[in-house]
Amino acid sequence: MEMILAIGIGVFAASGVWLLLRPRTYQVIIGLSLISYAVNLFIFSMGRVRIDVPPILKPGTAGDPARLADPMPQALVLTAIVIGFAMTALFLVLLLAARGRTGTDHVDGREQD
């Protein structure tokens, strides 16, 4: 499971960096989103991802803290997802405004010759 998660984080990060280097604004925005997803997965994986382990303790038992997931990374990732969604929406609005003013969606504002 850890290897699949690490490969997924690497694919998201590599794809995001590749898209950040593209000349079009929309591709840059999608690249930033992919990098934020990679960071969110990384933070989430730091909370000990467990399979077939109940998230809630049974009543009257103390429980083993080594078998439980840490709730702090989960809360941080949830907050980061909401903030990332809002920032992506803001960037898309800025993209549309810039394209309306300049007539192009290139990062530097001019078409390649």
pTM above 0.85, yes or no: no
pLDDT in tens, 66-113: 666 677 888 888 999 999 999 999 999 998 998 888 888 888 767 765
C-alpha separations of 110 from 5, 83, 102 in Å? 39, 31, 8
Q: How far apart are CA 52 and CA 6, in angstroms?
A: 20
C-alpha separations of 85 from 8, 17, 55 in Å? 20, 19, 27
In a domain, 113, yes or no: no
**Any idea what the CATH number is for the domain that residue 74 is in?**
1.10.287
**Residue span of the structural domain in which 43 resides:** 2-52+68-102
In a domain, 43, yes or no: yes
**How many structural domains are present in the chain?**
1
Taking residues 38-48, report their average pLDDT: 86
C-alpha separations of 52 from 37, 55, 69, 70, 79 in Å? 25, 9, 12, 15, 26
In a domain, 61, yes or no: no
Q: How far apart are CA 4 and CA 15, in angstroms?
A: 16
pLDDT in tens, 60-78: 667 666 666 677 888 888 9
In a domain, 32, yes or no: yes
In a domain, 58, yes or no: no
Q: How far apart are CA 51 and CA 79, in angstroms?
A: 23
